[in-house]
Amino acid sequence: MQAGHPEETPDALEASMDRGGVKPELQQKVLRLSEFHTYPAPGVLIGAFMVDYALELLGVTADKKLYGVCETPKCLPDALQVMAHCTTGNNRLKVVPIGKFAITLNAPTEGETAEAVRVYVDLEKLKYYPIIDIWYANSPTYDKHTMKGLLQDEIFRAGRMILSFERVLVPVKIKKKWSSVSCPCCGETVPDYLIEGDRCGACGSMKYYEKI
């Protein structure tokens, strides 16, 4: 973990989790997740409880193949990557930038849709946790210089008490056969389904660099 504020060291994090009554197995996961994320961001800490809850609701353990969707690109995807092994690279993590602190998780299925569990931060329940509430609302009354430690303590004390869930159906992505094609502009190859008209994405709408 990168050296940051005193309350962000692994020792301080463990002490804060002890105060909050976080169970030991989950504490280990929170430490690993914070290390992966490079620091214990509040969103990552809440994410740990969300994934832990979703796994329990699905009745599965993380050694099973799972698919996750995350409704924000901030913090939360790392909780799914580290704790449920739904990663960008194994294509079992989808990030939809809706801007909600919510995830869905599901096991593989043969059908076109899968039964998933959606776990989200419940605004009604946040009322009982005033510091998380103002942090979550991005309120100017939240002062990260003086309230960071308090926020962390409150997150661990709350655990899954700020979360709710619902059972939902999600579409299953069907794997398609593909072939490799050359882009006439750059000469590099891409899968046929990624060609944009007559060129590859890098020569088209996904261009993100200029040659130097």
Residue 21, amino acid: G
Q: Which of these segments, 65-73, 96-104, 120-128, 192-200, binds Zn ion (CB under 5 A)? A: 192-200
Query: Contact letters (x/-) for Zn ion, 132-171, by CB under 5 A?
Result: ----------------------------------------
Quick check: helix, strand or coil at residue 59? coil
30 near Zn ion, judged by CB under 5 A: no
Q: Please list, residue by residue across 12-42, b when 16 or more beta carbons sit within 10 angstroms of its beta carbon and e when fewer do.
A: ebbebbeebebeeebbebbbebbeebeebbb
Binding flag, residue 96, Zn ion (CB under 5 A): no
User: Contact region for Zn ion (CB under 5 A) — 97-105, 114-122, 146-154, 197-205?
Assistant: 197-205
Q: What does the alpha-carbon distance between residue 54 and residue 33 come to, in Å, rounded to a whole number?
A: 16
Q: Does 183 bind Zn ion (CB under 5 A)?
A: yes
Which among 56-64, 71-79, 153-161, 176-184 is the span making contact with Zn ion, rule CB under 5 A? Answer: 176-184
CA dist 40 and 30 (Å) reads: 8
Question: For Zn ion, which is the closer residue by CB, 151 or 200?
Answer: 200
What's the angle, vertex CA 134, arms to CA 167 and CA 131, rounded to 5? 90
Q: Is 207 exposed, middle or buried (0-12, 13-18, 19+ CB in 10 A)?
A: exposed
State which of residues 75, 103, 158, 200 lies at the interface with Zn ion (CB under 5 A): 200
Residue of 123, 137, 185, 206 that binds Zn ion (CB under 5 A): 185
Report which residue type is found at 79: A
Distance CA 207, CA 189 (A): 15
Among 96, 169, 186, 194, contact with Zn ion (rule: CB under 5 A)? 186
62 is an interface residue for Zn ion by CB under 5 A: no
Is residue 70 a contact residue for Zn ion (CB under 5 A)?
no
Question: Could you say whether residue 203 binds Zn ion (CB under 5 A)?
Answer: yes
Smallest gap from Cβ 179 to Zn ion, in A, equals 16
Q: Does residue 195 belong to the site contacting Zn ion (CB under 5 A)? A: no
In whole angstroms, give the CA distance from residue 5 to residue 111: 48
Q: Are 156 and 142 in contact (CB under 8 A)?
A: no
Identity of the residue, 13 or 200, whose beta carbon is nearer to Zn ion in the bound complex: 200
Interface with Zn ion (CB under 5 A): 183, 185-186, 200, 203
